[in-house]
Chains A and B, each alone.
Chain A
Amino acid sequence: MKKKISIYPTEQKVFPYLLILPNFLIFTIFIIIPFCYGIVMSFTNWKGIGAINFTGIENYIRIFSDSEYWDSIFRTLKYALIYLPIAIIVPLFFATQLVKKIRFRGIYRTLFFWPSMISPIVIGISFRFIFGNSTGCINYLVQILGFSKLNLMTSNAGAIFVLILASVWCGTGGTMIIFMSGLENISTVYYEAAEIDGATSRKKFFYITLPLLKPTMFLVFITGIITVFKTFALTMQLTQGGPGDATKYVVQNIYDTAFSKAQLGYACTQSLILTLIIATFTVFQFKINKGGAINDN
């Protein structure tokens, strides 16, 4: 019998690393190195142009008394508290319907997913055309019908409502796909057993679907938090942070510090503190939810 040639142990150890080498190089050059550079810049008063002067921990002392920065952080947290439940419940609802064998399921999936492929900038501009105070379609139609204008964009609550509407509209598709994948991985055996025991649809959802969907929900929640804290392109186009600074969230605050106020060094400090906040929150969530592991009980 011919002897089979086996893979050398050295090759076996090295080959996987070679496969991830391209991605690792790109990640290092475009993420890690700029991140390290940002840490170095956070100890300077660089304006983005001209000389770089090291100022020690001045920026870090300054940030703790920077009420504008912390106000933007708390505004972002408040936005997250309102947006995240909606951004989870709506896609979950659509996912539970679209995993069923219904007519034209493929078309519905495409229609719901399609907005997530549109650039947030285009969405922001489009929603301004719809909800704009003086030049929006809705106010034009409302006034033709003889009613008073809806001053949505001039009130804090109205602007946040329009922002959430735009965010949910464009984000539902992607989250829905993730939930659909999670739902399709739940074994039908559980539902069959529940059916035999006479469980209602509501009980099946709360006692089988939701607990078994925990890893997926955890993933969606964490990515949702990171997405909320990174909110920028949509708000810049839709509200530009207005009215006043009601929708001026933390990334826009950092952007203004860096480019409008020409304080790139201090903006790096703000970015680093934001990274630490998100990382702390993520680690905390991992511990609370045990990394998304399903509770065997």
Chain B
Amino acid sequence: MKKLSVLLLIVIMAITCVFATGDNEKTATVKQLDFFWWSDGQEGVAMQALIDEYEQMHSDIKINLIEVPFADVQNKIMMSVAGGEAPALTRTTEGISNQLYEAFVDFGEYTDGEALKSHFVSSIESYYVKNDKIISVPSDVTANGLIVNKTMFDKAGVTLPSGPDDIWTWDEFKKALIKVKAANNLEYAIAIDNASHRWSTILYEFGGSFANKNGGNFTSDNSIRCIEYTKALADEGLFNASTWITFEDAGILFRSQLVAAQICGTWCLEPYHNNITEFEWCATYMPVDVKRSSTPGGKQFAVLQDSGVEQEAVDFVLWATEKEQNQRYCEQSLFVSPRLDCAELKYPYRSSDFAVFANELANTGNEGAFDWGYPGLSAAFGVDVTYDFPKVLSGKMTVMDFAEKINKDINDFMGK
């Protein structure tokens, strides 16, 4: 009897260990929608307010905003889908959508796709339309641009561009950086967030790009010239390349006043407004080479397939991205709206900085939308750019070898 009890206990323990699992509470009357989310600033608060309002209107819907670190979002979605536990919704970027769009529902199956697309700026269409399917709905548009420590620039006697008709060239900007560096006793003058998405802004201004419809464009004369110019900035001690070589946070360098300028994006405006109190800062116009450019980006809301609540999730997304809701969301979060009917938003602060970024976007060509919107393309070259550009800066790889390697990655991917 004792042995039988022990035997039974072992079997029960084994089964419990194997099959113990958490349980998502679902009731028959309330549908739970898990929403994967990350926040750069206050957008989580703005979204929660929208969710609370929607739940009041729909008592049978409960939306759970699940905060996930940005660096983990793509993997978490992938693992959730592979494990059969896909969330109902997720916030996504063009980079994430590029890799995971096959797991997203086609909004065109739930609503009039052409009518939906007509609400949004055309330059970001490739970010949310893949293979003629509307795989997400834009929630905000971002733009890369230049933020400067105005206190340091004033101390150096450097005047910032007064408007779109007063844009400085890259050579003029470089001379300004030299003056600012000397006047403020800095080790470096400028930091650039990363070697791929942020640096591509400079690449497009030089007339280059990673790819085009014919395949890799990274070995073009303009692209090579841009790589060489960037290397020169690092060699001359103006550009703090440790953000690329040792992956230091460019935002920390800017906020700690270790650099006087940072190429980042609109998502920095809100956290910098809240956190920087020691010096004056502002957005200013990016320097120009052969042309002006930003790199358009943005976030979208996507609905995952096979969650069992696709219709409910689609309904929420379509409501949350309507004019009134999107306007409130963008104004509270300090985002630029992707909607054509929300061009004039009233921000509580930093309106002039937003105007600069909006103007940069308005003067942006289609190169960025191709590079970052072509399905799967950014994954093909992104890793090698991240690890090989630092080798170019430290002299361990030639500019041409780097360009040819990235071009090959792109051509192999595009089948050119």
Please report A residues at the B interface, Cβ cutoff 8 Å: 11, 15, 18-19, 21-22, 25-26, 29, 47-51, 132-135, 149, 153-154, 159, 239-245, 248, 256, 259-262
Contacts and interface: CB of A to CB of B under 8 A. Distances in A.
A248 B382 CA distance: 16
A18 B102 contact: no
Among B246, B252, B391, B394, chain A packs the most CB atoms within 10 A around the CB of B246
Interface in B1-42: 3, 7, 10-11, 13-14, 17-18
Given A22-B10, A48-B82, A262 B376 contact: yes
Interface string B253-276: 100101000000000000000000
B253 A25 contact: no
A243 B14 contact: no
Contact of B248 (A48, A134, A149): A134
A25 B14 CA distance: 7
A27 to B, nearest CB: 11
10 contacts: A25-B17, A134-B187, A134-B240, A159-B246, A240-B247, A242-B247, A243-B245, A244-B387, A244-B394, A262-B99
A239 B242 CA distance: 11
Contact of B99 (A19, A22, A47, A149): A47
Which 6 residue pairs of A and B lie closest in terms of their CB atoms, listed nearest first? A50-B102, A153-B246, A22-B14, A244-B391, A133-B242, A240-B247
Size category of the binding interface on chain B? 35 or more
A264 B360 CA distance: 38
Given A21-B11, A22-B17, 10 more contacts: A18-B7, A18-B10, A18-B11, A133-B245, A134-B240, A154-B394, A244-B387, A244-B394, A245-B388, A256-B383
A47 B383 CA distance: 16
B18 A134 contact: no
B126 interface: no
A239 B240 CA distance: 17
A49 B387 contact: no
Interface of B: 3, 7, 10-11, 13-14, 17-18, 74-75, 78, 81-82, 99-100, 102-103, 187, 240, 242, 245-249, 252-253, 256, 258, 376, 379-380, 382-383, 387-388, 390-391, 394, 396-397
Contacts of A153: 242, 245-246
B367 to A, nearest CB: 22
A135 B253 contact: yes
B14 A259 contact: no
A132 B246 contact: yes
A230 to B, nearest CB: 18
Contacts, number: 100
A248 B387 contact: yes
B379 A135 contact: no
A260 B379 contact: yes
Interface SS, B side: helix
B18 A133 contact: no
B141 to A, nearest CB: 25
B7 A242 contact: no
A29 B18 contact: yes
Contacts of B380: 261
Contact of A135 (B11, B17, B248, B396): B248
Contact of B246 (A11, A22, A243, A245): A243
Contacts of A132: 246, 248
Nearest to A237: B247
A242 B245 contact: yes
Contacts of B256: 135
Contacts of B387: 241-242, 244-245, 248
Nearest to A260: B383
Given A135-B252, A153-B242, A49 B103 contact: yes
Given A21-B14, A49-B82, A133-B248, A244 B242 contact: no
Contact of A261 (B247, B248, B379, B397): B379
Nearest to B397: A244
A48 to B, nearest CB: 5
A18 B82 CA distance: 33
Contacts of A261: 379-380, 383
Contacts of B3: 11, 15
A11 B6 CA distance: 12
Contacts of B391: 244-245
Contact of B242 (A21, A26, A154, A248): A154
Given A134-B248, A153-B242, A19 B10 contact: yes
Contact of A49 (B100, B242, B382): B100
A245 B392 CA distance: 12
B308 to A, nearest CB: 18
Contacts of B379: 260-262
Contacts of B17: 22, 25-26
B253 A134 contact: yes
Contacts of B100: 49
